[in-house]
Amino acid sequence: MNEQTREQAVRQLTQRLREWRLTSAARLLLDAAEPMAFLASQIALFARPFTPRGQWRSYVDALTEEDGWKALKRSIDEPEC
């Protein structure tokens, strides 16, 4: 997955988390899991075949690398427009 596609998926996931009012929970989880970002990306890679095609697959694809988790944390920390 290229960087532009990953950023787009991360922004869409962030928007969904905001719609569901889960940004605080996501921020807490991301802060707790930050030292284990590599392990989290490996879990996402393992879970990929079990996710339905479509939007969820792009979210998982974006999180299969450590940079995806970091981008998600940055995106959640950005103020809403």
Q: How far apart are CA 36 and CA 29, in angstroms?
A: 11
Domain that residue 7 falls in: 3-77
pLDDT tens-digit readout, 33-68: 888 888 989 999 999 999 998 999 999 999 999 999
Count of domains forming the chain: 1
Residue 29 is predicted with a pLDDT of: 93
List Cα–Cα distances, 55 to 38, 43, 47, 60, 68, in angstroms.
23, 18, 15, 9, 15
**What's the predicted TM-score (pTM) here?**
0.88
Q: How far is CA 17 from the centre of its chain?
A: 10
